[in-house]
Structure 1
Amino acid sequence: MKRRGFNKMLLGAGLALPAMSLFRDGVAYAQGAAGGLTAIINPEPPVLVLPINQQIPTGTIGGKIYESLLSYDFELKPQPQLAESWEISEDGLTYTFHLAKKAKWHDGKPFTSADVVFSCNVMLKEVHPRARGVFDRCESITAPDDHTVVFKLKAPFGPFLLAFETSSAPMAPKHIYEGTDYRKNPANDTPIGTGPFKLKEWSRGSHIHLVANEDYYLEGQPVLTEIFYKVVPDGASRSVAMETGEAQLSQFADIEPFDVPRLAAMPNLKMTTKGYEFFSPVLWYELNLRKKPFDDLRFRKAARLLLDPKFIVDKINFGLGKPATGPIASTTKFYDPNVTIYKTDVAAANALLDEMGLKKDANGVRTTIKFLVVPFGEFWTRLAEYFRQAMKQGGIEVVLETTDPGGFAQRVSNWEFDTTSNMLYQNGDPALGVARSYISSNIRKGVMFTNTEGYSNKEVDELFDRAAVLTSDKERAELYSKVQKILVDDLPVLWMTEQQFPTIHDARLENAIDTAIGVNGTFGRARWAS
C-alpha cells in the first residue's frame, strides 16, 4: 500500500455510516440532568486496581476510586488531596505530610498513615513501574501518628513532590493487601479506595457503574451522583454516542482524529486539550533490543530513516500533536532541541541494511519481524499499519500480531515481542517519567512501563542518576542535555510524536477538567450547569 492508498483508507474510515446505538441494552444510563454522567471508555480495562495496573483506561476510571497524597494544577504546582498540608526541611531531605483526618476507605475503615507507609514502602515498590525508583531514595518512611507521615531521603531529590500524583503513587488499603499476593488478591474484583466514587457494578463487556461515595471527606463532593463508563469498542459508535448525547464525555483516543473537528464544532459539545500537562505523552515504536536484528544500531537507524513522524501527526493524528525529537517532550522542563535530527531517507536506510548484510530474497524481503499491535482502538491499528508499510520500503516484512489489553501488557512486560508501539507519560519531570524507560536498573521483567526494550548504557545510567539528586535546575539541564544527545544517537526506541489528546464533553458539563491530570482526576467537583 502506497501512502496515497493509506490516506484513502483513513478517509474511507472517516466516511463510515452511523453505527447502531450500543446504549439500548436495557440499562438506565445517566443523562446529565439527573445528576449523573455517562462517559465512554475504550478499551475495557483489564482491572480497576490502580496500584497494580496503570494502563490508560485503568487510570481514567481508577482516578475516581483511588487517590494519592497530592494533586497538581495546570502549572504542576502541588495541591492538597489525601495530604491536607506538608513541610520540607531546609536541607531538602525530610518531607512531612499531614493527612486528612476524615478520609475513609470505601469499606468504612479509616485511612491512616499506616496505609501510606505500606503503600509507598512495601506494595508499590513491588508492583508499580515507577514507585521503586522514587521510594528507594528514602532512608525511611515513618508514621509518628495516625495522620502524619515522614519521608526522609538519602539525598535531595528535586521532583519528590511530583511523585504523589494518583497513578504514580495510588494509596492502597493495608488491611486488604498486607501479606497477600497483590495481583491475585480476591479484593481486586471490587477495588477499595478513598476517592469520591466507588464501584457499584462491573458488567464485563458492557459498562462500569460508579456511584457517589456518601462518606467522602471533602465537604460538598462529589456533586455528581453516579458515573457510567460505557465500553464501546467501535469508533463510529463512539462518535455517534457523543453526537446524539447518549454519552457526555470522551477522552484520550476515544474519538478517531478525523472525527474530532466535526464533533468539536457542534454547539452541544466542547473540546479541550487541557488536562494532559502532567503526562505530556511521547509516542514511540519500541524494538526488543535483546533480539536480532534490533540489537544492531544500524538496523535501528535504518528503521528510523524509513519513518516520517510528520505523516503520523498529519494523516493519523489529523494535526493533534507534533513530531518528537527525543525522549523529553518540548512541553516539559529540560527539553533540548539540539540533538541529531533524523529525516526520512529511504536510500540511506537501504544502504545501512545492505551494510549489515541483510540481502533481499526473490520477493524483495531482507528479514521478517513481528509487530504487537496495541489493542486500544483504531488509532493504534493504523499506527501499526503505517509501520508495516514504512518498513516495506527497506525490504523489512512486518507481521502484525493482535491480543487483548491484558495480554498486551503481559507480553510486553515479559519481553515477549519483537516490535510494538507505546506512549509513555513524562510525569512532570525526567527523573519521574523519562529515566525509567532507559536506566538499566529498571529492566524489570513482568512490570509494565519499565525499560521493556532492554536498553543498557552505563553513562546514561550515571547521567540520569546525577541529574535526579541535583537541586539546581541549571546543573540538571546540562546533564539532561547530554543524556538526550546520547539517547537520540543510540535510538533505544524510535520516538515519533508528542501527543495531544482531545477531551470532548457535553457543553453543560463543568469542572471535570480542573487539574493537570484532566480526565484521570477525581471528578469530585464535576457538575452540570444549572
Structure 2
Amino acid sequence: MPFSRRQFIAGLSALPLLGASVPFLPSALAAATAEAVSGRRIFNLLVNPEPPSLSSFNTTAGTTITASSKVLEGLLRYDENLTPQPGLAVAWEAAADGLSYRFTLRQGVKWHDGQPFTAQDVAFSLDLNKRYHPRGGSTFANLLSVETPDDHTAIVRLGKPAPYLIRAFAGSETPIVPKHLYASGDPLSNPHNNAPVGTGPYRFKQWQRGSFIEYERNPDYWDSSLPGVDALFLKVVPDSAARLAAFENGSLDAGGQSPVPLSDLKRITQSGKLQFTTRGYAYSITPTMLEFNLDNPLLARHEVRQAIAHAIDREVIRKVVYYGYADVSVSPIPKNFAQYVYEGPDPYPFDIARANALLDAAGLPRKGPSRFSLTLDPLPYGDSYARTAAYIRTALARIGIDVQLRSQDFPTYTKRIYTDRDFDFAVVGMGTMFDPTVGVQRLFWSKNFRKGLPFSNGSHYNNPEVDRLLEAAAVETDEHKRGEFFKAFQKIVIEELPNITLVMQQQVTVFNARVSGFEADGNGLDGSLADVRLGGEALAHG
C-alpha cells in the first residue's frame, strides 16, 4: 500500500516544535531592523538554530560556520567549480611529488585588534584545525609541519600526498585564527570563540543571545573597497512561521539551507520581491541520513537494520518531505563526484513484506501492534529533519516498530548523540564537502569515533577493511585507482548499514531581490559575504 501525503501530514502534526526552547525576541529583532532607517547599509541574514559558538576551528555546526566565516578568513576562496581563488594567500604552488604546498601570503593584512597577520598565524592555525576540527584529523592526517621561512611564506609539508588538500583552505573549513590570542590556555574555552578577532571583512560587535549577532564593516580590510555594507546582523528566528513572516516583511534579507517550508516557496516568490536559488552550495552537498547507534544491542543486529532499510521509501521522502528539492541516493557520496560514486543497485529496496519477514526470522515478533520501541532524534536544524523523522515513524509502524520522536535544542542534541551517546537512532545531515576524504570518511572511519566530537562517526562503526579503503583513497593520486577504493568502500557500508543515506538535499536559499553577490561563491552564504550587494550596488573584488 503506497504511503500518502495525508498519512505524512497526520504523522507530522504530532511532532513537537523543534527549537521551541530558544526564545524569539521580536523587540530585539525589530530594534536591529530599525537601524536601517539611519541610512546605514544593513544586511540581515538568518541563522537557525543559534550558533553554539562563533569560531569554527573546532566544529562543523552549520550556523557556527556561517557566523565564523565573516570574521575568520582562510588562505583561499573557491568559486562554483571549486577553483581556488586568492584569500589570505595570493599565490600557491604544489610540489611535483604532492608532498608540499608553498603559500605566498598577502602583505599588509591586520587582525581586527591591529596586530599584523603573519605566516606564524597560518602554521599555528593549521595545527589547531588538525587537532580540534571534527574533520581535521582526516583532512590534515598527513600534515607533518608548516615551515615559515619569513612572515609572508608558509610551506606545508606532508608525509604522504593529500590530493584533496588544495580545496581545504576556505575560511569556513580551515579558519586562520590569531596566534597571539590563542597560543596560551585551552583553545576550546578561549573567550574569543564567542567574540572572534579575525582578518575578515566584518568585525564582531555584539551577541544578543537568542536574538542576533551584530558584525560591523571592517574599515581596515585588506580590500578597501569591501565590504559594501555597514553592518551585518545574523538573526536568530527559531520559529518557522516567524521566519516566513520576517522574509515577507523585509526584516530578513537572506537565509540558506531551505529556511522556510518548501511548500511556501512558490507563493512567497510570486511577486518577485523574494527570490530563491539552489546556487551557493558547491563546496558541500548535504545528504539526509538515518544514523544508528551500533552500541545499542538491538540496532547492532544487522537484520534489524536491514528491515528498517526495506521499510523506507526514499521517493516519498524526496517528494513529500523535500517537495522534489532532493535526489534519491543509497550512497553517501553524491553524484557530483562522478568518478567516485557507487553505481550498483540498492540491496534493500522498499519492500514491507521483506522487512516484516526479517524481523520475524530474527525472533522479534509483534506483541500487540508493535515488536519493540525506539527513540528517534531529528537534527534540530530547519524543519526537513523533523519532517523526515515524522515519515520514518509512520513507515516503521508498518513493520511493528514503535518510534518515539524526541525534540531538543541544538546543544542538547549534539551532547546527547556525540558525548552521552544516549540515543537509538537519529535523522542527520552531514555535508559531503569538497572531497569524500574530508566529508564522508569522518562518518565511517573507526579512528574518527571520539566522544564529544560532533558530526563524526556517531554510529561507532568499526570495519578494518573500510578503514583500509578510506586510508588508501586519502593518499592515492591516480584518479581511477582512487575511485575504485571509494566504490569498494561504498559497497561495504551500503550493505552493512551503519547508517542509511536517504536523499541528497538540493538546498534552497531565499533572498530579497535587492540582494546579490553571494551566488558565485562556492560557499554561498557560508562564505565571507565580502562581495554582497544591496539594491543593485556594483562591488568589485580586488
TM range (shorter): over 0.9
How far did 1:478 drift? 1.5
Q: Secondary structure at the residue paired with 1:64?
A: coil
Write out aligned runs for 1:153-302 (5 A).
Answer: 153-302=158-307
Q: Does 1:373 align with 2:371?
A: no
Residue 352 of structure 2 corresponds to 346
* Distance apart, 1:522 and its partner CA: 0.6
Q: CA separation in 1, counterparts of 2:205 and 2:59? A: 20
Mapped to 2, the partners of 1:10 and 1:240 lie a distance apart of 25
- Partners of 1:372 and 1:420 within 8 A in 2: yes
Alignment check: 8 A CA contact 1:29 1:38 kept:
no
In structure 2, the partner of 1:507 is: 513
SS in 1 for 2:387: helix
The answer as to 2:151 corresponding to 1:150 is no
Alignment partner of 1:266: what SS?
Answer: coil
What aligned pairs does 1:113-128 form with structure 2 within 5 A after superposition?
113-121=119-127, 123-128=128-133
Alpha-carbon distance in 1 for matches of 2:210, 2:202:
21
Q: Quote how far apart the aligned CAs of 1:341 are.
A: 4.5
Identify if the C-alpha distance between structure 1 residues 351 and 12 changes in structure 2 by more than 3 Å, giving closer, same or farther.
closer
Cα separation, 1, equivalents of 2:513 and 2:305 = 46
Tell me the alpha carbon deviations over residues 124-173 of structure 1, each in whole angstroms, 9 at most, x when there is no partner. 23321111222230222221111111111112221110121223211122
Q: CA offset at residue 516 of structure 1?
A: 0.9
In structure 1, distance between residues paired with 2:486 and 2:58:
30
Q: Helix, strand or coil for the counterpart of 1:164?
A: coil
Of 424, 431, 451, which residue of structure 1 is paired with 2:457? 451
Provide TM-score, normalisation by structure 1. Answer: 0.94
Q: Deviations over 1:403-442 (max 9, x none)?
A: 2111111222222321111111111111111111111111
- Name the CA distance, whole Å, in 2 between partners of 1:205 and 1:505: 22
How far did residue 202 of structure 1 move?
A: 1.0
State how far apart, in whole Å, the 1-side matches of 2:68 and 2:4 are: 39
**Structure 1 residue 484: deviation in Å?**
1.3
SS at 1:380's partner residue?
helix
Decide which of 517, 523, 527 is 2:533's aligned counterpart. 527
2:430 alignment partner in structure 1: 424
CA contact (8 A) 2:290 2:428 kept: yes
Counterpart Cα distance in 2 of 1:129 and 1:230: 26
How many percent of aligned residue pairs carry the same amino acid? 34
Cα gap change, 1:388 to 1:154, in 2 (>3 Å): same
| Residue matched to 1:355 | 361
Shift of 1:11: 10
Question: Could you state the TM-score of these two structures normalised by the residue count of structure 2?
Answer: 0.92
Q: Does the 8 A contact of 1:29 with 1:228 survive in 2?
A: no
Instruction: Name the residue aligned to 2:103.
Output: 97
- The one-letter code matched in structure 2 to 1:57 is T
Matched, 1:482 2:488: yes
Q: How much has 1:10 moved relative to structure 2?
A: 8.9
In the TM superposition, residue 21 of structure 1 has moved relative to its aligned partner by: 10
What SS is found at the alignment partner of 1:71? strand
- Of 413, 416, 421, the residue aligned with 1:408 is 413
Residue 9 of structure 1: how far off its partner (Å) = 4.7
Structure 2 distance, partners of 1:27, 1:165, is: 29
1:40 aligns with 2:40: no
Distance in 2, matches of 1:493 and 1:75, equals: 29
Separation in structure 2 between the aligned mates of residue 96 and residue 5 of structure 1, nearest angstrom:
58
Q: Which runs of 5+ in 1 are unaligned?
A: 14-19
Distance in 2 (CA, whole Å) between partners of 1:107 and 1:264 is 42
Q: For residues 30 and 60 of structure 1, what CA distance do their matches in structure 2 show?
A: 22
Shift of the alpha carbon at 1:7? Answer: 4.1
Q: For residues 333 and 33 of structure 2, what CA distance do their matches in structure 1 show? A: 45
Asked whether the equivalents of residues 325 and 341 of structure 1 are also in contact (C-alpha less than 8 Å), the reply is no
Q: Aligned pair 1:82/2:68, yes or no? A: no
Deviations 1:415-470 (A, max 9, x none): 23211111111111111111111111111111112111111111111111111211
Judge conservation of contact 1:280–1:332 (CA < 8 Å) in 2. Answer: no
Separation of aligned partners in 2, 1:92 and 1:8: 53
- Tell me the alpha carbon deviations over residues 47-71 of structure 1, each in whole angstroms, 9 at most, x when there is no partner: 1121133211111122111111111
Distance change in 2, residues 1:76/1:460 (3 Å): same
Instruction: For 1:145, give the aligned amino acid.
Output: D
Q: 1:29 to 1:98 in 2, by over 3 A?
A: farther
Taking the TM superposition and a 5 Å limit, the aligned residue runs for 1:295-310 are 295-310=300-315
**Alpha carbons 1:329, 1:498 under 8 Å: kept:** yes
Q: CA RMSD in A?
A: 2.1
Deviation (angstroms), 1:87: 0.9
Aligned residues: 521
**Distance of aligned partners of 1:10 and 1:332 in 2 relative to their CA distance in 1, 3 Å threshold:** farther
Which letter maps to 2:315? Answer: K
Asked if the contact 1:112–1:147 (Cα under 8 Å) also holds between the matched residues in 2, the reply is yes
The correspondence for 1:65, drawn from 65, 71, 87, is 71
Secondary structure of the 1:65 match is: coil
**Counterpart check, 1:314 vs 2:315:** no
Determine the C-alpha separation between the residues in 1 that align with 2:58 and 2:445.
22
Counterpart-to-counterpart distance in 2, 1:160 and 1:87 = 12
Whole-Å separation in 2 of the counterparts to 1:344 and 1:149: 52
C-alpha change, 1:245 and 1:217, in structure 2 (3 Å) is same
Structure 1 residues 137 and 107 mapped into 2: Cα distance closer, same or farther (>3 Å)?
A: same
Task: Report how far residue 340 of structure 1 moved.
Answer: 2.9
302-311 or 407-416, larger mean C-alpha shift = 407-416
